[in-house]
Amino acid sequence: MVRQHVNPLSRFYLQPRPLPPLEQLFADPSLPLHLDIGSARGRFLLALAPLEPHRNHLGLEIRRPLVELAEADRIAAGLGNLRFLFRNANVSFDAWLRSLPEGRLALVTLQFPDPWFKKKHHKRRVLQPGLLAGLAAALAPGRELFLQSDVPAVIEPMVALVETCGCFARPAGDARPWRNGSPLPLPTERERHVLAQGLPVYRVLFRRNAAPVPAVAELEAAARAADNPGDGADPAAVPVPPTLSPTP
């Protein structure tokens, strides 16, 4: 049985594991790239890749057994525009992002990440300042970052960090605080499960603007201030979205 959660800060998951170049991953490495961080068992990408042959799709997942199962299914399906890799997205990833050809990264999705609720566990969240800075640097203006979760306490800090970064804006006309519907052509397994119970999914789509990427230290300081608003920092300097009722 595969564990639902693993500690990304344990020694095993902090080992450097450089990613292969695109030429070693895909049949046509020149296609625009969709990066799905936290691809789990991979069923979402296994269904999406045949629908979007104009893109390459790369799923990163920290639980190795799930990656092995997903890769076996990918090979059986003969999908040359899809790969799954066992990786911690916050380790050995920034250099790979910098190596991508300019404009190649078209879309980043982060869907239903593991919920680390306790403040002492916030450093285990997948969207850390360093990762966000790397993604912002790799995404050209107009390219997209899509976040969704069924847990407000999970998605709100992600949205706050992205908005603090200043490198992204929501598309004109998108509802606030949460987007009406998904921009993707099909749902994830978790998404189907949540919606079948009549529960809300909280979604935000961001597009890269032309703003320069701030220093990681600045983002880290902003994240700390958001987590500790009473420690003397100015809360007004960190735009943290309030907990609001979901958009139906």
Torsion of CA 128, 110, 125, 153, to 10 degrees: 120
In a domain, 14, yes or no: no
In a domain, 101, yes or no: yes
Confidence band for 35, pLDDT divided at 50, 70 and 90: very high
In a domain, 116, yes or no: yes
Q: Where are the alpha helices (DSSP H) in 87-147?
A: 94-99, 129-138
In CATH, what number is assigned to the domain containing residue 89? 3.40.50.150
In a domain, 86, yes or no: yes
Tens of pLDDT, residues 203-237: 999 999 999 999 999 998 877 776 665 554 443 34
As a whole number, mean pLDDT of residues 68-86 equals: 97
Residue in this structure with the two tokens 């320069």, named with its chain if needed: 212
Task: Please identify which of the residues 36, 94, 114, 150 carries the catalytic annotation.
Answer: 114
Q: What's the structural domain count of the chain?
A: 1
In a domain, 15, yes or no: no
- Percent of residues, the chain, with pLDDT higher than 70: 79
In a domain, 4, yes or no: no
- The candidate with the shortest Cα–Cα distance to 125, out of 89, 73, 165, 176, is 89
Tens of pLDDT, residues 80-118: 999 999 988 878 788 899 999 999 999 999 999 865 444
The C-alpha atoms of residue 243 and residue 196 are separated, in whole angstroms, by 23
The pLDDT, as a whole number, for residue 230 is: 53
Q: What global pTM score does this model have? A: 0.84
Is the pLDDT confidence value at 71 over 60? yes
Domain that holds residue 71: 22-237
In a domain, 54, yes or no: yes
Would you call 114 a catalytic residue per the annotation?
A: yes
Enumerate the β-bridge partners of residue 79: none
Evaluate the CA torsion angle 129, 105, 35, 194 in order and state its sign. positive
